[in-house]
């Protein structure tokens, strides 16, 4: 095995790519030693140091086309775009196989899978032994946030998946500039990924190699991630949820900042005044739609800064400042269409890597929700013929698109820069109880609201208080340490800046007794954003309620939409009895963390009950 041998090229003019960069410094020595150590364990045929050049990317793409991993789409309809189909058993993040291996189990908390670090290393090491045999190990240096940015963080992923490499190149900033910073001594996080499918001499490779046994393992005390057996993006693009949330949340706790599962937007009012809003929504709660919102109110504009992850730090000006650390969108395709999110559709004009969507007869892609009517014939995500009467989806429900954020028509010109944060929104999918919008009484109350975010678990259970899927701060699957300590970190952050963002809770999904949505949603959500911004400006009133501050309906801009008064009344109705029952559920949820729940949040729960009991009397 040649540790610095280049990738076997598909073009003669790329014969020299892939050699280790000739940088000096202690950082480079440590990086090279780690690469050699992992190579000795995994035994790849070659090691390729990724430079991030366009020529290199073209060679990787050509290799995957030749291997059958990528299907080129019609260059006129979707230029420089490709479709890949995963193994049917490798289509999503695997929360059941995701571990937080802190030294102490209580530091991982009850919402994470835990294993002792030494035990887990003893479990996964035999799996990684020889796991890259017959393959190339790629060394991928990446930056979360612009290279050299004041809020940015660095990492390196070792992987035997060229699909992961090209995905990381879309989702992060990859290349020699990052390696040079590491060589000069910048700190970095170690991540290792293998599809777990070694090749014997002469053995043909699968178009989508993976392993039946899968592990996604985080060692927060060592700032390492090891992922085995899966080629799917959420398990293979380790810079994303694994680093940017689970490991970064630990870094933020220790260093005084926050890594959050939040979109980030700039809202510009008709007078040209700009405000920055971060929002944490669990899946299926309108996160991407808000990130690319097209306001229906004349004069308002929304610019996209990020659609999924936000890092927040206190600034010298006494305010929180935020960045989107990613460089791309890894979005769910089904449900994305011209009627729901035209901005996302326009973003996908070209330079897209599609995973598990359907292929049209003319070389384009399709998924449920892209158009109102499906084509008469498709090749589905498993490569089988499909017609509208097939009785199965054409695209996998978790099919994805990976595309540069810079392509979004709504992207802000300065989207890679840190922005001062004016407001934070929390939301869930609630058919009952939670109003369209409520403002927190203060930061501590806002943390309480974030800690109680939940959605009805299933459509059958909608309207039944008690059957809720808890997802506090939309971080339940992504917090790298005990979530009760995470609540405490939010409270502590509130003491680190004198000018804090205002906190709001929103709910686009409240229903009437007949099961009908009471609010039109989508672009009309700009009317709620309008009220929030006018609250920040001191130009809109609010009325106290037991759960927080509610709008005066007269202060909502409802021109041009028809929402009956009865629906408006229901959208803001607060039923004390139902809320007292919900308070009991919150207490039960808090009790799963034992005595680690901050006393401030227990006090907030007591105060809520007292206000509800007063209102009920």
pLDDT in tens, 599-616: 999 999 999 999 999 998
Mean pLDDT of 383-393: 97
The whole-number pLDDT of residue 462 equals 37
Tell me the percentage of the chain whose pLDDT exceeds 90: 92
Q: Where residue 17 falls among pLDDT bands split at 50, 70, 90?
A: confident
Are 48 and 139 a contacting pair, CB within 8 Å?
yes
Q: How far apart are the C-alpha atoms of 197 and 192, rounded to whole Å?
A: 15
Mean pLDDT of 225-247: 97
Q: How far apart are the C-alpha atoms of 404 and 541, rounded to whole Å?
A: 40
Tokens at 180, concatenated: 């040079």
pLDDT in tens, 79-105: 999 999 999 999 999 999 999 999 999
pLDDT in tens, 328-339: 999 999 999 998
The whole-number pLDDT of residue 372 equals 93
DSSP 23: -
Question: Phi and psi at residue 317, in whole multiples of 5°?
Answer: -85, 5
Helix (H) or strand (E) holding 121: helix 117-128
pLDDT in tens, 118-160: 999 999 999 999 999 999 999 999 999 999 999 999 999 999 9
User: Does the structure show a pLDDT above 80 at 39?
Assistant: yes
Binding site for substrate: which residues? 93, 232-234, 283, 398-400
Q: How far apart are the C-alpha atoms of 425 and 440, rounded to whole Å?
A: 10
Sign for the CA dihedral angle at 55, 61, 66, 71 comes to negative
β-partners of residue 221 are: none
pLDDT in tens, 312-328: 999 999 999 999 999 99
The whole-number pLDDT of residue 284 equals 76
Mean pLDDT of 293-312: 97
**Both ends of the chain: CA-CA distance in Å?**
78
Q: Where residue 457 falls among pLDDT bands split at 50, 70, 90?
A: low
Place of tokens 């004349």: 298
The whole-number pLDDT of residue 76 equals 97
Are 263 and 278 a contacting pair, CB within 8 Å?
yes
DSSP 148: T
Binding site for Mn(2+): which residues? 241, 261, 308
User: Does the structure show a pLDDT above 80 at 304?
Assistant: yes
User: Does the structure show a pLDDT above 60 at 486?
Assistant: yes
Q: How far apart are the C-alpha atoms of 454 and 462, rounded to whole Å?
A: 12
DSSP 461: G
Q: How far apart are the C-alpha atoms of 289 and 585, rounded to whole Å?
A: 30
The whole-number pLDDT of residue 460 equals 32
**DSSP states of 411-460 as a string?**
B-TTTTS-EE--EEEEE---SSSS-SEEE-SSHHHHHHHHHT-EEESSGG
Binding site: which residues? 93, 232-234, 241, 261, 283-289, 308, 398-400, 429, 522-525
Catalytic site residues?
285
| Other CB atoms within 10 Å distance of the CB of residue 313 | 20
User: Does the structure show a pLDDT above 80 at 38?
Assistant: yes
The whole-number pLDDT of residue 13 equals 37
User: Does the structure show a pLDDT above 50 at 488?
Assistant: yes
Beta-carbon contacts of 198 under 8 Å, excluding residues fewer than 6 positions away, are: 43, 130, 131, 132, 133, 134, 135
pLDDT in tens, 526-564: 999 999 999 999 999 999 999 999 999 999 999 999 999
Q: Tell me which of 164-173, 295-304, 452-461 is least confident.
A: 452-461
Nearest to 245 by CA among 220, 269, 266: 220
DSSP 544: E
Mean pLDDT of 457-481: 72
Binding site for GTP: which residues? 284-289, 400, 429, 522-525
User: Structural domains in the chain?
Assistant: 12-69+95-255 (3.40.449.10), 260-324+415-616 (3.90.228.20), 330-405 (2.170.8.10)
The whole-number pLDDT of residue 438 equals 98
**DSSP states of 222-279 as a string?**
TTEEEEES--SHHHH-TIIIIIIIIIHHHHHHHHT-EEES-EEEEEE-TT--EEEEEE
Q: How far apart are the C-alpha atoms of 167 and 165, rounded to whole Å?
A: 5
Mean pLDDT of 380-406: 97
User: Does the structure show a pLDDT above 70 at 1?
Assistant: no
Q: How far apart are the C-alpha atoms of 12 and 351, rounded to whole Å?
A: 25
Tell me the percentage of the chain whose pLDDT exceeds 70: 96
Q: How far apart are the C-alpha atoms of 527 and 552, rounded to whole Å?
A: 13
Q: How far apart are the C-alpha atoms of 129 and 37, rounded to whole Å?
A: 11
Tokens at 232, concatenated: 């799917």
Looking at every residue in the chain, the average pLDDT score rounds to 94
Q: How far apart are the C-alpha atoms of 318 and 295, rounded to whole Å?
A: 30
pLDDT in tens, 546-555: 999 999 999 9
Are 276 and 420 a contacting pair, CB within 8 Å?
yes
The whole-number pLDDT of residue 149 equals 95
């Amino acid at each position: 095995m040649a540790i610095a041998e280049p990738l076997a090229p598909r073009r003669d003019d790329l014969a020299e790519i892939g050699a280790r960069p000739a940088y000096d410094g202690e950082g480079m020595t440590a990086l090279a030693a780690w690469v050699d150590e992992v190579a000795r364990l995994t035994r790849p045929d070659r090691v390729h140091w990724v430079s991030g050049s366009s020529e290199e990317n073209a060679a990787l793409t050509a290799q995957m086309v030749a291997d059958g991993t990528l299907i080129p789409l019609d260059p006129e309809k979707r230029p420089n775009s490709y479709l890949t189909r995963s193994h049917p058993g490798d289509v999503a993040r695997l929360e059941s196989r995701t571990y937080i291996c802190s030294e102490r189990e209580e530091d991982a908390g009850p919402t994470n899978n835990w294993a002792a670090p030494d035990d887990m290393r003893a479990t996964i090491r035999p799996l990684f032994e020889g796991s890259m045999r017959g393959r190339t190990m790629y060394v991928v240096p990446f930056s979360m946030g612009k290279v050299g940015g004041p809020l940015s963080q660095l990492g390196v992923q070792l992987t035997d998946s060229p699909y992961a490499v090209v995905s990381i190149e879309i989702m992060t900033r990859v290349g020699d500039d990052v390696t040079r910073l590491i060589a000069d001594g910048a700190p970095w996080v170690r991540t290792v990924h293998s599809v777990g499918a070694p090749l014997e001499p002469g053995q043909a490779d699968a178009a989508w190699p993976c392993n039946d046994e899968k592990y996604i393992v985080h060692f927060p005390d060592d700032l390492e991630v090891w992922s085995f057996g899966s080629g799917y993006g959420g398990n293979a693009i380790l810079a994303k949820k694994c680093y940017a949330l689970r490991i970064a949340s630990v870094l933020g706790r220790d260093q005084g900042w926050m890594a959050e599962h939040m979109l980030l937007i700039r809202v510009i009012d008709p007078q040209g005044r700009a405000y920055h809003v971060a929002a944490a929504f669990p899946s299926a709660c309108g996160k991407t739609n808000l990130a690319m919102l097209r306001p229906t109110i004349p004069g308002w504009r929304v610019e996209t800064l990020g659609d999924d992850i936000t890092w927040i730090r206190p600034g010298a000006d006494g305010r929180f400042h935020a960045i989107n650390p990613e460089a791309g969108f890894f979005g769910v395709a089904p449900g994305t269409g011209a009627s729901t999110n035209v901005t996302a559709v326009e973003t996908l004009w070209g330079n897209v890597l599609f995973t598990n969507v359907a292929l049209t007869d003319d070389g384009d892609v399709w998924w449920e929700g892209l158009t109102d009517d499906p084509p008469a014939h498709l090749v589905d995500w498993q490569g089988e013929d499909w017609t509208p009467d097939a009785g199965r989806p054409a695209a996998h429900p978790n099919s994805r698109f990976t595309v540069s954020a810079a392509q979004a028509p709504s992207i802000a010109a300065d989207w890679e820069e840190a922005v001062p944060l004016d407001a934070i929104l929390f939301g869930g999918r609630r058919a009952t109880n939670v109003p369209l919008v409520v403002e927190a009484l203060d930061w501590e109350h806002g943390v309480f609201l974030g800690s109680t975010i939940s959605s009805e678990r299933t459509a059958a259970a909608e309207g039944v208080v008690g059957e809720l899927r808890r997802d506090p701060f939309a971080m339940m699957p992504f917090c790298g340490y005990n979530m009760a300590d995470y609540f405490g970190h939010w409270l502590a952050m509130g003491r680190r800046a004198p000018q804090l963002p205002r906190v709001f809770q929103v709910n686009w999904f409240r229903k009437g007794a007949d099961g009908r949505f009471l609010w039109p949603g989508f672009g009309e959500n700009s009317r709620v954003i309008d009220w929030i911004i006018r609250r920040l400006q001191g130009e809109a009133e609010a009325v106290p309620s037991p759960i927080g501050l509610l709008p005066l309906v007269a202060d909502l801009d409802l021109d041009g939409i028809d929402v009956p008064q009865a629906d408006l009344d229901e959208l803001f109705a607060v039923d004390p009895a139902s809320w007292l029952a919900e308070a009991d559920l919150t207490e039960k949820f808090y009790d799963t963390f034992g005595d680690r729940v901050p006393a401030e949040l227990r006090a907030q729960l007591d105060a809520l009950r007292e206000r509800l009991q007063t209102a009920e009397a």
